[in-house]
Amino acid sequence: MAVPRQIKIMLLFTLVGPPIAAIPFALILTTEGLGLGILAIVLSYPIGVIPTVIAGALFIMISRWLLNKRWFLSKQKAFFLGAICGAVGVLFLFILFNFLMYDSRSKTSFYNIYIPVVLLGFMSGGICGVLSLRHLDEKIASMEELKDLTQ
C-alpha cells in the first residue's frame, strides 16, 4: 500500500525539522560536554513538533495550490516556501508561549531569543522544503516530465 505524498512530506518535516534546528544549539552545548549536545537534539522533538507540523501542513497546502496553478517548484522556490512555512510555524509557537507567560521580566528575556529562533525555523523549513521536492508529485518520473507538463 502506497503512503500518500502529503503524509510523507508531513513526516519529513516532523522528523527532520527539529534536529536541523537543534544542530547549532547542540554544537554550542557540545563545548561544555557531549551529553548536553545530545540532550539538545533529543529535546528538540517535544519542543519542535508543533512548529514543524504547522510548517509541513502549510507547505503541503501552498505547494499543492502552486502545482495546481502549474507553477514549477525549483529547489530555490521550494527552499524559500519551506523557509517561510518554518518561520510561520515558529511564530505560532512564540505566540502560544507569549500568552502563557505572565511575568514581564520573562517576556523580555523571551524576546531576546526571538530572532535567532525564527531564523532557525527559517533554515529548518527551507531544508525540509528542498528535501520534500521529490515527494510532491510521485507520478512524474523525472524533472523533465514535470517541466513538459508545466509549459
pTM score of the predicted model: 0.75
Q: How confident is the model over 97-124, as pLDDT tens digits?
A: 777 666 666 556 666 677 788 888 899 9
CA 121 vs. chain centroid, Å, equals 6
Query: DSSP 3-state assignment of 140?
Result: coil
C-alpha cell at 124: 529548518
Q: How confident is the model over 27-82, as pLDDT tens digits?
A: 887 887 778 888 888 888 888 888 899 999 999 889 888 877 777 778 888 899 99
Among candidates 34, 125, 40, 139, which has minimal Cα distance to 88? 125
Buried/exposed 34-62: b ≥16 CB within 10 Å, e otherwise: eeebeebeeebeeebeebbbbbbbbbbee
Residue 78 identity (one-letter amino acid): A
Which residues touch 134 (CB under 8 Å, ≥6 apart)?
A: none
